Chains A and B, each alone.
Chain A
Amino acid sequence: MSTLVVGITVFVLAAFVGFEVISKVPPTLHTPLMSGANAISGITIIGALAAAGIGAAPLAQVLGFFAVATATVNVVGGFLVTDRMLEMFKSRGDRERQAR
């Protein structure tokens, strides 16, 4: 199999896993889900690191720098803000424990 076919296979299977896993998420968690998923899409940072680290042409290095920087904002900011939001979600029990 060519790498392209393997890639397409992986993509399709992963998309199905995504639909299965995410379609059950209750609306209460949709915002953290979206910002968490958004942080995961920052996985493009792997490509950015390689591009910035290997690029020989000056312009390639400039583009590589911006790729790493934007992807890192996406990853660091995305996971942190999701954590900040999820920290606020408390059950009735959590609230009572806190009050004591």
Chain B
Amino acid sequence: MTAILYLASAVAFIVGLKRLGAPRTARSGNRIAALGMLAAIMITLVTEDILNWEVVAAGLVVGAVVGAWAAVRVQMTAMPQMVAIFNGLGGVASALVAATEVLESEMTGIPAETVVTILASILIGSITFTGSFVAFGKLQGIVTGHPLTYPGQQVVNALIVIGLIGFAIWAGVSGDETGYWVVAGLSLLLGILAVIPIGGADMPVVISLLNSFSGLAAAAAGFVIESNPLIIGGALVGAAGLILTVQMTEAMNRSLANVLFAGFGTEGATSAATMSDKPVRRATPEDAAISLGYADSVMIVPGYGLAVAQAQHAARELADLMEERGATVHYAIHPVAGRMPGHMNVLLAEADVPYEQLLDLEQADPQFPQTDVVLILGANDVVNPSARDDPGSPIYGMPILNVDRAGTVIVVKRSLSPGFAGIDNPLFYEENTLMFFADAKEALEQTVSALRSL
């Protein structure tokens, strides 16, 4: 009977995830999944012979208060950090479940087939925990966003992996509790060391991967306590995280191995010196307003710089104004525009941009030849034609938004400084490109008032 009730929870997760796949049904999907979770918790509290009610209640209250407080308070720009922390907490919870199993088994002896799953749970959960907190630190700017590399780094990490395997085998064969704690310690260390050499700009990939890991850790814990809802829920999340990881690496034209091990972004500093001194066409707010005011079709290309400048609302105001003047306005969102998959869409939704206006790379790219004006706000590498034309460029082959095929391109940017990859952008020197040097928010506000007086 209990198993059937748990199955209902698992079904709620699947239905919930399915409904998360369309804007209209997404909110109800999330609630269905939450109900499934509530049901699973209730079933557990009723059917398990819980002795330490005070421990359970304390954990639930503390967790609920902290979780709710964080969920209500977090800024949308900080969502990647938030998800990183939640991934880490999910991971450590799974590792702790396995660890208590080790402690309790002192009396009963660990069944042979459980040994492997306990070790897997401790290993994945611990790596997810520390790895996520380093990712959080990088996104928050507490840890440097630059890749931290040192000579022999790969060797050190390889030695830790070998040590992990050795201690895991020893723990499993000898049944010595110490072996499990060494595995836990080495896994915690590996989580830190594996993430520090990855650049801040690659964190979207890392968060997606750690999301997948937090699912796998839950599934491994499910094997330990022989619980199907954990295995199902964990497998679903493992799959979701993996899909997003692959999509992000494809959007960067990199392999997962390259993201994890290459220390990308370290060589960028040198190529920044090769910046072009070709002339650019400068635009005033009035120039921008005239271009935009008489355009029939406008595409806005937002980058993370837009969010940093808190200019989403100003962008929406400008878009509304252009629509009143009869233009069609869309936003072209590159997969790596934000700091996690889909981040930019959330930031624009927060500014009341209807989701029909948000186009992804495949939808937007074919439209540029028919677009009158492209307005680039805080994006750089994702509109760099070098990725298409220059085989020598470090970002060559990365799918880009081919904005240079549109009639006019207006680039709002503080200066000519290059993006994270440290690469000069030939787009800025094109004949049909206007450079509007300003902070994104100020630029948009000035353009709005210029457009009003047009």
Query: Chain A residues with Cβ under 8 A from B55's Cβ?
Result: 52-53, 55, 61, 64-65, 68
Interface of A is mostly: helix
Query: Chain B residues with Cβ under 8 A from A75's Cβ?
Result: 37, 41, 63, 67
Closest CB of chain A to B216's CB: distance in Å? 9
Interface of B is mostly: helix
User: What 0/1 pattern do residues 33 to 64 of A give for CB contact below 8 A with B?
Assistant: 11111111111111111111111110111011
Contact B355 A90 (CB under 8 A): yes
Contact B62 A31 (CB under 8 A): no
Choice from A11, A31, A37, A64 contacting B96 with Cβ under 8 Å = A64
* Given contact pairs A14-B231, A22-B240, A53-B51, a sample of 20 additional A-B residue pairs in the complex whose CB atoms are under 8 Å apart: A10-B235, A15-B236, A15-B238, A18-B236, A27-B360, A30-B340, A32-B342, A33-B244, A35-B79, A37-B215, A37-B237, A46-B41, A53-B56, A64-B55, A67-B96, A72-B59, A73-B66, A78-B67, A79-B37, A85-B349
A84 interfacial contact with B, CB 8 Å: yes
CA distance A22 to B53 in the complex (A): 38
Query: Chain B residues with Cβ under 8 A from A95's Cβ?
Result: 352, 354
B60 interfacial contact with A, CB 8 Å: yes
Residue of A nearest to B62 (CB): A69
Tally of B interface residues using CB under 8 Å: 118
Contact A34 B228 (CB under 8 A): no
CA distance A7 to B218 in the complex (A): 13
Given contacts A27-B342, A32-B342, contact A76 B64 (CB under 8 A): yes
Given contacts A40-B233, A44-B218, contact A22 B40 (CB under 8 A): no
Residue of A nearest to B17 (CB): A21
Q: Which of B24-32, B403-411, B434-442 is near enough to bind chain A?
A: B24-32
Contact A18 B59 (CB under 8 A): no
CA distance A43 to B55 in the complex (A): 18
B196 interfacial contact with A, CB 8 Å: no
A selection of 22 A-B contacts at a CB cut-off of 8 Å is A10-B231, A14-B231, A15-B238, A17-B239, A30-B341, A31-B341, A38-B86, A41-B87, A43-B229, A44-B218, A47-B224, A51-B101, A64-B52, A64-B55, A69-B60, A69-B66, A74-B67, A86-B30, A88-B350, A91-B354, A95-B352, A95-B354
